[in-house]
Amino acid sequence: MVVPWKTTQSGAHNMVRIIGNIKPEDDYTHELGPEENFNESVYFNFFDREQNRGGFVRIGNRANEGYAEMTVIVWNPDGSALFYYDKPSISDNESWNAGGLSIDVEVPIERIRTTYQGEALLMTNPRDMKDPGSAFKNNPMKPLMIDLTHTAVGPMYGHVGEPGDGNEFARSHTEQHM
């Protein structure tokens, strides 16, 4: 069973602007820092009314530790869920692309594409994940393909902290409705 999903979430371009001191290029990955546990991550929640399905994708680059963390979940109309998590190897912070999950900035602060091609655990009862070991033993893996284009419907909010202001933990943290 292949679960294809291709949709475009569209928005109004007149809402695209920046509130804060970030720049459009902050939509891309940043230079790898010296921190042993350096982590740059991005995530997207999504919902498609026509298919009555929603989901979440996240990738966090931890290049100084040699891996990325990636999560994909899709909630289906029948209550089942497709889930995948992995820590694929990476060696740099040049892009968000690991384990079959890719986040591509097509137009900074306006349009981003998320794709996933791989497998996912199909759980008819998502509460099975209370015991992950059992969930992975007792539920089948299924092919999953996601291809989404996210278009901004609101401004991007964010702030780049100054050294010593206590904001070092979330440098260039942004939020935006797409």
* Residues 52, 77 contacting (CB under 8 angstroms): yes
Stretch 151-166: mean pLDDT, rounded?
A: 75
Q: In the Cβ-directed half-sphere of 139, how many Cα atoms lie within 13 Å? A: 23
Q: Would you tell me how many other CB atoms lie within 10 Å of the CB of residue 99?
A: 21
Phi-psi region of 117 (alpha: psi -120 to 50; beta: other; left: phi over 0): beta
10 pLDDT more than 80: no
For residue range 84-98, list pLDDT tens digits in order: 999 999 999 999 999
**Alpha-carbon distance 73 to 56, whole Å?**
5
- The reported pLDDT for the residue numbered 142 is 98
- The reported pLDDT for the residue numbered 1 is 37
In the chain, % helix, strand, coil (3-state, to 5) comes to: 15, 50, 40
- The reported pLDDT for the residue numbered 84 is 96
pTM confidence score: 0.83
Tokens of 70: 């990636």
